[in-house]
């Protein structure tokens, strides 16, 4: 699985971008995050799960509640244009490698 | 995990370098840059012209399914030493980023492995940054185009 590509898919979604904005300044519980949206709670949970899986959000247990906060290092990596550019060449070169591994010289 | 493709682009410089290790003998790696049908496959763009020799030139073009030109680029090859080195210019047409100078060095590591060292120099720091940002968008667009092609073929 390509974790990095998933990060860009994750931030392409408007709801998930809003969630990232909400937790950018403070840690929030799933309930507090969900209260900002009209969508059903399970839908918000699904978004939180995706953001956590690609490490944009981190969970923190505080008593009985789970708080979500932003993974600043990961966010910086994504905001930075260098990593996507590297990824672009990495994809191209991976392709080159697989094409040439199957290459049969023409007669 | 060690990254196979490494990018070095310092702040305030008008260049970047990319190094990449390949599980390919150096002659096969070199061939992927000099034969148009192979270049087309991994670059995801059509090769209209490719004269792989010193003083040769090349032209690349990508059209969308409706035939509209999405991307055009051209350049001149200044040096071409088989399995060792290519020096060429690259210019994206209708994009205000000027001409870039590209130096590719190919190195054999073992029978089945090789290394590529790519050095790209721009007219200014701003132009380098623009290309790196635009390159991302372009990559995504191309991926979308390919996806669209696959979907169109499924519908037929």
Among the partner-chain residues A84, A95, A100, the one whose CB lies closest to the CB of B136 is A84
Specify the CATH number for the domain of residue B125.
Answer: 3.30.530.20
Is residue B139 domain-resident?
yes
Is residue B24 domain-resident?
yes
- Residues of chain B predicted below pLDDT 70: 1-2, 134-156
**Between chains, do A82 and B32 touch, taking CB under 8 Å as contact?**
no
What is the count of structural domains for chain A?
1
Residue A15 burial (CB < 10 Å; 0-12/13-18/19+)? middle
Note the pLDDT tens digit of each residue in B9-26.
887 899 999 999 999 999
> pLDDT tier at A93 (50, 70, 90 boundaries)?
very high
> What domain range includes position A48?
3-80
Test the A interface: residue of B12, B42, B83, B130 with most A CBs within 10 Å: B42
Among the partner-chain residues A81, A92, A100, the one whose CB lies closest to the CB of B29 is A100
> pLDDT tier at A76 (50, 70, 90 boundaries)?
low
- The DSSP secondary-structure symbol of B1 reads -
Among the partner-chain residues A81, A89, A97, the one whose CB lies closest to the CB of B24 is A97
Mean predicted confidence (pLDDT) in A36-63: 90
Cα B37 to Cα B71: distance, rounded to the nearest angstrom: 18
Q: SS3 for B80?
A: strand
Nearest to A82 by CA among B148, B150, B17: B17
Is residue A52 domain-resident?
yes
Q: What pLDDT does residue A77 have?
A: 64
**Between chains, do B136 and A88 touch, taking CB under 8 Å as contact?**
yes
Note the pLDDT tens digit of each residue in B36-62.
999 999 988 899 999 999 999 999 998
Cα A68 to Cα A59: distance, rounded to the nearest angstrom: 5
Mean predicted confidence (pLDDT) in A71-87: 75
Please identify among residues 104-143 of chain B the ones whose CB lies closer than 8 Å to any CB of chain A. 116, 129, 132-133, 135-136, 139
Specify the CATH number for the domain of residue A31.
Answer: 1.10.10.10
Is residue A95 domain-resident?
no
Is residue A21 domain-resident?
yes
> What domain range includes position B86?
14-155
Q: Which residue of A lies nearest to B22 if distances are taken between CA atoms?
A: A97
Residue A63 Rama label (left phi>0; alpha psi -120 to 50; beta) = left
Mean pLDDT of chain A: 82
What percentage of chain A exceeds 70 in pLDDT? 83
Mean pLDDT of chain B: 85
Is residue B6 domain-resident?
no
Is residue A98 domain-resident?
no
Is residue B4 domain-resident?
no
Is residue A89 domain-resident?
no
Q: In what order do the strands lie in the sheet with A65-70?
A: A28-29, A65-70, A57-62
Interface of A with B (CB under 8 A): 81-82, 84-86, 88-97, 99-101, 103
Phi, psi of A96 (to 5 degrees): -55, -45
Q: What pLDDT does residue A23 have?
A: 83
- Which chain A residues touch B44 with a CB distance below 8 Å? 92, 95
Q: Which residue of A lies nearest to B133 if distances are taken between CA atoms?
A: A81
ipTM above 0.95, yes or no: no
User: For residues B22 and B12, is the Cβ–Cβ distance under 8 A?
Assistant: no
What is the count of structural domains for chain B?
1
Q: SS3 for A15?
A: helix
- Give A33-79 as a 3 state SS string: HHCCCCCCHHHHHHHHHHHHHCCCEEEEEECCEEEEEECHHHHHHHH
Is residue B2 domain-resident?
no
């Amino acid at each position: 699985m390509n974790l990095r590509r998933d990060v860009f898919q994750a931030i392409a979604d408007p709801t998930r971008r809003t969630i990232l904005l909400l937790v950018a300044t403070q840690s929030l519980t799933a309930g507090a995050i969900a209260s900002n949206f009209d969508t059903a709670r399970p839908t918000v949970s699904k978004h939180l799960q995706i953001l956590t899986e690609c490490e944009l959000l981190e969970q923190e247990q505080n008593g009985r509640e789970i708080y979500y906060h932003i993974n600043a290092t990961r966010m910086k990596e994504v905001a930075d244009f260098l990593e996507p550019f590297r990824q672009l060449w990495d994809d191209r070169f991976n392709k080159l490698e697989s094409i040439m591994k199957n290459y049969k010289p023409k007669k | 995990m060690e990254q196979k493709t490494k990018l070095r682009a310092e702040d305030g410089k008008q260049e970047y370098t990319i190094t990449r290790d390949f599980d390919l003998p150096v002659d096969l790696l070199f061939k992927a840059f000099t034969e148009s049908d192979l270049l087309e496959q991994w670059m995801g763009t059509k090769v209209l012209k490719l004269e792989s020799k010193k003083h040769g030139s090349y032209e690349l073009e990508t059209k969308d399914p409706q035939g509209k030109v999405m991307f055009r680029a051209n350049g001149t090859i200044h040096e071409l030493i088989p399995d060792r080195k290519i020096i060429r210019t690259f210019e994206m047409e209708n994009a205000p980023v000027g001409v870039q100078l590209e130096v590719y060095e190919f190195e054999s590591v073992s029978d089945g492995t090789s290394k590529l060292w790519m050095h790209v120099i721009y007219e200014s720091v701003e132009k380098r940054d623009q290309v790196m940002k635009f390159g991302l968008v372009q990559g995504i667009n191309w991926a979308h185009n390919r996806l669209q092609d696959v979907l169109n073929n499924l519908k037929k």
